[in-house]
Amino acid sequence: MRSVWSLLAVDGGKWVARLLGHAPDGRGTLLAGNGAMGLGAGLLAMPFGLHLMLGGMTLPFLLSTLGVAIFMASLTLLRARRADEAAAVQGLGLLALGLGLSLADPAPLDAGLAIMLLAPAYAGIVGTAGTRRLAVGLGLAGAAVAAGLGQAGFAFGTMDPTAPALLVLGLLGVLIARSAGRVRAETDALAQGERTAYHHLVEAVPDAVLRLAAGGEVVFASASSETLLGCQRYELSGKGLFARLHVLDRPAFLSAIDEACRLGVRRTLEVRLRRDLPGENRVPNFVWIELSLSPVIDAGGAGRHEVVTLLRDISERKDFEAEMQAARRAAEEASRAKTRFLATIGHELRTPLNAIVGFSEMMTTGVAGDIAPVHKEYAGLIHKSGRHLLDVVGMLLDMSRIEAGKFEILPEPFAPESLVEPCLDMVGAMAAERGITIAAEVQPSLPALNADERACRQILINLLSNAIKFSPDGAGISVSIKRQGAHVLFSVADGGIGMGPEELERIGEPFYQASDAMTRRFEGTGLGLSIVKGLVDLHGGRLHARSALEEGTTMTVLLPINGPAIKLGHTGVVTPLHKDQVSQQTPSWQDARRRAQ
Amino acid sequence: MPKTVMIVEDNELNMKLFNDLLESRGYAIIQTRNGMEALDLARAHHPDLILMDIQLPEVSGLVVTKWLKEDDDLQSIPVIAVTAFAMKGDEERILQGGCEGYISKPISVPHFLETIARYIGPAN
């Protein structure tokens, strides 16, 4: 049942391909289908013809034999890929059948005439223009002869009143044949036009277009491949492309082709291909090419594989990537150099500073004997300044450790409210000097916070120091600690000079203080908030700043109650700071213990 | 006979600072800049307390402390570490290493003297 159906199907692609041994175009498929149908009809008619022949009537058998011969011949020609001739055999064969029918016996004269007139139409559709003209000529001539004979035959009897109708039928046959020829020509022109358009498309795109066989051999190369690789395109055909591939890229190329064919997946790969430069070149010149492989599986061709490949010159992009990489390496190296510099200079500064601080403190406290009061005052100033410098150096080292990802935090649960008192103590003297009052508000029954307590203290002290520094004398500052969801929220609000949007953007950049003018007004390195930002990041927390010029600043820190999600340890990454405040650090925030030496 | 403190410290300035501070309180001082030498000096003089810098050039102060604590004669001498390390873990590491106490730099004069006095009392 199934084979009968495919027999009738005009577009029985696979069946036709098997029959002919190759996949023909649309017309070939049509002809093969028609040929097969004609052959089937002839074979079916043969037994009846045989039966009639035994009854004394030889014509049907002869005609069916002729039909079988015609269609077998056309199929044979199709197998040999001679579609034009196959079409001519079919068209003219039908014509011959009609002629034989009408000449052999006057009875089926009308049918014979109709066949002779329709055969040219069929030939016009499937055959070439020559076949069509031949068929029309022969058809008209045959029809005229047969009609004449018939007329003569009829003349002996009565005049057939349908004879004039035969003339009309003849005319109609001619018209159909002409129209069919026209349709055929148009179709051909359209197909040709489409082929031309595709041809132009392929040749005009700057990317080279190649068709590769399953083994990677080049079957077709577009003209643009000549420009791309500096060679004639025939040089690429067969193994020519593979020979130009950089040896190191060959395995990748082969496996990509294999995958494309076997799995039908699209692949893109970057390879180096040799490009010929004009003149003698001893050293092969390779260009980076991006290959896009798109497998095309021909359903009619017994799974024949082909890979359509686009080649694009990506040397510029590759150069750019290399430059970017070099630039990044340089930047990383510069950053490492900065970190090294800070660490080294920090150590070098600390040793003499310790001596300055220690000896001046000995003089101030009179440990080594009494000195004149004015000298004591000087020693006190030296001591105070030395302390300040030590704090700055300490912050520099902290900052460089944070930036280098070497700052370790040890989260342990502790009560967040316990931070308040020591921090207020630490900044108390500085606030008192300026008549600034600090109000603390702590939410009752806070959960234990899993964080590095020392780091939290430093965060709070830095924020408080900043608030004090940028507040006018006698102002108030408020500190609050409360729970917010899965975080503990610390906030420090002041009524100080505040920051504009631009300054808010840059907040937390090391050494950045809100404005140059302010740097003069407020001393400090601008490191305090950078350290806050770094410590908050290490805890997986967030730092926010809300501020407007002359309206004060509120700094908020959110730390996750359960501690940092990932233990950062040595690999802590500190993201660049955005949003935070103002600056600076004041000398006294340090916790004596951690200030190292 | 004043109490004796041995200072193991490679930095000149720090050495002088500690030396002068302790001298001003009447302690007798033994100085060494070298961890290797410290053990021999300790055996020879049997000081009442050892002030040990942790960052020494050849052998770490922690290692010297370990040697001291392994010596039956010397293990009773309190060792106070002086260190620039200020990280949390370092404190534990120093105390686990056998030191009785530790002072971090920069020192505060009163705190320094108090700490010494806590272990061995005043010089006389």
pLDDT at A480: 92
Which of A353, A354, A409, A593 should one mutate to test binding to chain B, selecting the residue with the greatest count of B CBs within 10 A? A354
For A297-323, write each residue's pLDDT tens digit. Answer: 766 555 667 888 899 999 899 999 999
Whether residue A358 and residue B109 make contact (CB cut-off 8 A), yes or no, is: yes
Cα→Cα distances A184→A27, A31, A458, B46, Å:
11, 14, 90, 120
Query: Nearest C-alpha of chain B: how many angstroms from A540?
Result: 20
Cα→Cα distances A553→A464, A497, A585, B26, B45, Å:
11, 8, 16, 53, 61
CB atoms within 10 A of CB A56: 6
The pLDDT of residue A444 is above 50: yes
**Residue among A353, A365, A593 whose CB faces B86 most closely:** A593
Residue count of chain A: 597
Instruction: Please list every residue in chain A whose beta carbon sits closer than 8 Å to the beta carbon of residue B20.
Output: 359, 362, 368
Whole-angstrom Cα distance, residue A571 to residue A408?
A: 9
pLDDT at A367: 79
Q: Considering only A87-96, A145-154, A401-410, B40-49, which range has the smallest mean pLDDT?
A: A145-154
A534 and A444 housed in the same domain: yes
A396 and A525 housed in the same domain: no
A45 and A169 housed in the same domain: yes
Give yes or no for a contact between B42 and B34, defined as CB atoms under 8 angstroms apart. no
Which chain B residue's Cα is nearest to A407? B87
Instruction: Please list every residue in chain B whose beta carbon sits closer than 8 Å to the beta carbon of residue A384.
Output: none
The last residue of one of the domains, among A165, A184, A200, is: A200
The last residue of one of the domains, among A313, A341, A368, is: A313
Q: Are strands B28-32 and B49-53 parallel, antiparallel or unpaired?
A: unpaired
Cβ partners under 8 Å of residue A183, min gap 6:
A125
Give yes or no for a contact between A559 and A458, defined as CB atoms under 8 angstroms apart. no
What token pair was written down for B118?
């806590």
A53 and A193 housed in the same domain: yes
A426: left (phi over 0), alpha (psi -120 to 50) or beta: alpha
Q: Give a yes or no: residue A90 inside a domain.
A: yes
Q: Give a yes or no: residue A589 inside a domain.
A: no
Whole-angstrom Cα distance, residue A338 to residue A343?
A: 9
A341 and A399 housed in the same domain: yes
Number of structural domains in chain A: 4
Q: Give a yes or no: residue A52 inside a domain.
A: yes
User: Domains in chain B, ordered, with CATH?
Assistant: 4-120 (3.40.50.2300)
pLDDT at A479: 92
Query: Nearest C-alpha of chain B: how many angstroms from A538?
Result: 15
Looking at residues A70-81, what average pLDDT do you find?
88
Give yes or no for a contact between A512 and A466, defined as CB atoms under 8 angstroms apart. no
Q: Give a yes or no: residue A573 inside a domain.
A: no
A426 and A392 housed in the same domain: no
For A174-189, write each residue's pLDDT tens digit. Answer: 677 777 777 777 888 8
**Residue among B14, B21, B105 whose CB faces A367 most closely:** B21
Whole-angstrom Cα distance, residue A293 to residue A188?
A: 31
Whole-angstrom Cα distance, residue A457 to residue A477?
A: 17
**Which stretches of chain B are DSSP H helices?**
12-24, 35-45, 61-70, 88-96, 109-120
Whether residue B106 is preceded by a cis peptide bond, meaning omega within 30 degrees of 0, is yes
A9 and A144 housed in the same domain: yes
CATH code of the domain containing A242: 3.30.450.20
A56 and A146 housed in the same domain: yes
Q: What confidence tier does A371 reach under pLDDT thresholds 50, 70, 90?
A: confident
What token pair was written down for A494?
């002041």
Instruction: Please list every residue in chain B whose beta carbon sits closer than 8 Å to the beta carbon of residue A411.
Output: none
The last residue of one of the domains, among A175, A200, A225, is: A200
A292 and A325 housed in the same domain: no
Looking at residues A73-91, what average pLDDT do you find?
86
What are the backbone angles phi and psi of residue A210, rounded to the nearest 5°? -125, 150
Q: Give a yes or no: residue A181 inside a domain.
A: yes
Q: Higher pLDDT residue, A85 or A116?
A: A85
Q: Give a yes or no: residue A51 inside a domain.
A: yes
**Residue among B24, B87, B104 whose CB faces A368 most closely:** B24
A51 and A176 housed in the same domain: yes
Q: Which domain holds residue A416?
A: 412-560
**Taking each helix axis from N to C terminus, what angle separates B12-24 and B109-120, rounded to the nearest 10 degrees?**
60
The average confidence (pLDDT) of chain B is: 87
Tell me which residue of A352, A396, A356, A597 sits closest to B107, measured CA to CA.
A597
A514 and A398 housed in the same domain: no
Give yes or no for a contact between A489 and A470, defined as CB atoms under 8 angstroms apart. no
Whole-angstrom Cα distance, residue A512 to residue A503?
A: 9
pLDDT at A583: 38
What token pair was written down for A578?
């955005």
Give yes or no for a contact between A172 and A274, defined as CB atoms under 8 angstroms apart. no
A356 and A432 housed in the same domain: no
Any A CB within 8 A of B113 CB = yes
Cα→Cα distances B23→A568, B29, B121, B122, Å:
46, 7, 14, 11
What token pair was written down for A219?
């079957």
Whether residue A354 and residue B89 make contact (CB cut-off 8 A), yes or no, is: no
Residue reference for tokens 């927390």: A541
CB atoms within 10 A of CB A296: 14
Looking at residues A198-202, what average pLDDT do you find?
84
Query: Nearest C-alpha of chain A: how many angstroms from B108?
Result: 7
CA angle A319, A323, A327 (to 5 degrees): 170
Q: Considering only A104-113, A229-238, A437-446, which range has the smallest mean pLDDT?
A: A104-113
ipTM of the complex: 0.77
Tell me which residue of A525, A538, A464 sits closest to A496, measured CA to CA.
A464
Q: Give a yes or no: residue A591 inside a domain.
A: no
Q: What confidence tier does A428 reach under pLDDT thresholds 50, 70, 90?
A: confident
CATH code of the domain containing A514: 3.30.565.10
Any A CB within 8 A of B85 CB = yes
Cα→Cα distances B56→B63, B86, B112, B113, Å:
10, 16, 20, 23
Q: Give a yes or no: residue A580 inside a domain.
A: no
What token pair was written down for A230?
């500096």
The average confidence (pLDDT) of chain A is: 78
| Percentage of chain B exceeding pLDDT 70 | 95
